[in-house]
Structure 1
Amino acid sequence: MCDRAVWAAQIEALSATHEVVVPHYGTLDSLAGMAERVLREAPPGPLAVAGHSMGGRIAFEMWARAPQRIERLALLDTSYHPLPAGAEGERERAGRYALLEIARSQGLRTMAREWALGMVHADHLGTPLFEAVLDMFERSSVAAFAAQIEALLARRDAEPLLATVSVPTLVLCGRDDAWSPPSRHEFMHERIAGSSLAVIERCGHMSPMEEPAAVTAALRDWLARPVRG
């Protein structure tokens, strides 16, 4: 449901030195299909892949399919775990479908307001940044939201991939990200050899928007790291 607005500050800061491409997934309903679209449409040559939230899941799918095309990897406010088994998984499924019902019956902005209450740091509630998140969701569609729910519910267990990552990797999240907490990013960092970990203070799930300067600085450092021989 996110678009270029998530990366606006980073696009402005990095475009002078890098070609920045933000994919659009439309109504694709599988993470594999999204990854294949990016690999098909991305510029040729080595890619520096930065994935935020669902995008991190897509980055894992890209690595699984074409590691030779990926020169470096950044995983922001994301995770590796599959849909949990049993009651925990059913709670997640029910929660996602409840949001979809709100989107269908009351509109995307109302749904986004419910969703974003737990996704940004409390300091941002009711601010222009919070409204920008709602604007972004409202620019999408219920069909895209439904498709992305199905993609996320069917997500792979990416833990086995962590030890295979052999490129410069940044693992980053907000300290107060309740959906993808620091503990999960610490887990990824410990298992991806040579990775760097950045935890952004006073920041929730939407780190590139909430703390753009800190995220941009971390991405600059990541892009400057030498590729392993």
Structure 2
Amino acid sequence: MPTAHVNGLDLYYERAGSGPPLLFISGTGGDLRNKPNQFDGPFPKAFDVVSYDQRGLGRSDKPDVAYSMADYADDASALMGELGIDRAHIVGVSFGGMVAQELVLRHPRRVNRLVLACTSPGGAGGASFPFHEIDHLKGEARARYLTPISDTRRDAAWAEANPDTYRQIIAISSADPYGEEPGHEMGARRQLEARAHHDTWDRLDQIEAPTLIAAGRYDGIALPATQENLASRIKGSTLRFFEGGHLFMIQDRTATATMIRFLNGEEI
């Protein structure tokens, strides 16, 4: 099992593909055992992709201590160093986009080009949906609560008109195959605690890396207005909306292709 010892932790990672290096930072609860994932899409066909289970998640260490967004960013930088990657493109999705913001601010020399997907700056720029406030909801109850928020088109009327699709979404969203593992619940909670304190708003104007902000038009978790705030604060950034909600990268096939063109320095 490939692990890198960084900042006193063993982080599980995977690496695949060829081309310029790309670090893909996953969202809340990210676990590389869940398939399909970033290695099953187009990114490894264009880049040397590295992704990992963040502290407290998946097959990485889960210390029962407070985590900070700075810790997550420093983990990402240290992992790159351990793997001999001085500089890379960064794709951060949702919570991973929050980590990516901290990474480029704390370790700017690590970042070549940056994609921030369905994420938020926090603070006065707008926070993402407060998952820590619904941590008591589990399984199907949580899935039913979040489905119309994740994609605002999937309201009660839509669910009634599309019962089979709705049942499939709830079944998939309810599954947590590793929920009983030691440390799983604690690590997930520690991540939500760190997420609740995310705030890069007053520092975003320090970002100099070429940046693409990618988002879903119907995302009720990372709101469209928040994406506009991000774009207004990061100088020279490009904002693109796609047809989907928080999972727009799956819902709109043009999204990942646009990201790849951006990372390659092409017109989008």
Give yes or no for TM over 0.5. yes
Which position in structure 1 is the counterpart of 2:23? Answer: none
Q: Point out the more displaced range, 162-171 or 20-29.
A: 20-29
Per the alignment, in what secondary structure is the counterpart of residue 45 of structure 2?
coil
The one-letter code of the counterpart of 1:102 is L
| Structure 2 residue aligned with 1:149 | 192
Measured in 2, the distance between the counterparts of 1:147 and 1:77 equals: 21
Q: Distance in 1 between matches of 2:36 and 2:206?
A: 27
Alignment-derived partner of residue 187 in structure 1: 229
C-alpha spacing 1:219/1:167, structure 2 compared with 1 (3 Å): same
Note the residue ranges of structure 1 that are not aligned, 5 or more in a row: none
Give the aligned partner of residue 66 of structure 1.
Answer: 107
**Where does residue 114 of structure 1 map in the other structure?**
145
Instruction: Report the AA paired with residue 153 of structure 1.
Output: A
Aligned length: 211
CA gap of 1:129–1:17, structure 2 versus 1, over 3 A, is farther
Q: Which has the higher strand share?
A: 2
**Higher relative contact order, chain-length normalized (CA < 8 Å, sep 6+):** 1
Work out whether residues 105 and 207 of structure 2, in 8 Å CA contact, stay in contact via their aligned partners in 1.
Answer: no
**Structure 2 matches for 1:131-146, cutoff 5 A?**
131-135=171-175, 137-139=176-178, 141-146=184-189
2:45 is equivalent to residue 16 of structure 1: yes
Residues 37-56 of structure 1 aligned to structure 2 (within 5 Å): 37-42=75-80, 43=83, 44-56=85-97
Question: Structure 2 vs 1, CA of residues 191 and 219 (structure 1 numbering), >3 Å: closer, same or farther?
Answer: same
Corresponding letter in the other structure for 1:3: D
Runs (4+) of structure 1 exceeding 6 A deviation are none
**Higher-helix-fraction structure:** 1
Q: SS in structure 2 opposite 1:118? A: helix
Per the TM alignment, residue 64 of structure 1 is displaced from its structure 2 partner at its CA by 1.8
Aligned-pair distance for 1:200? Answer: 0.7
Instruction: Report the Cα offset of residue 51 of structure 1.
Output: 0.9
Aligned with residue 161 of structure 1, among 203, 209, 215:
203
Identify the residue that residue 126 of structure 1 maps to in structure 2.
166
Question: What CA distance in whole angstroms lies between the structure 2 residues aligned with 1:74 and 1:81?
Answer: 17
Name the TM-score, length of structure 1 as normaliser: 0.78
How much is the aligned-residue C-alpha RMSD, in angstroms? 3.0
> Cα offset for 1:22?
1.9
For structure 2, the residue ranges without an aligned partner over 5 or more in a row are 1-28, 57-61
| Structure 2 counterpart of 1:217, one-letter code | A
Alpha-carbon displacement from aligned partner over 1:85-120 (angstroms, at most 9, x marks no partner): xxx99xx76x624x22234xxxx4543443344213
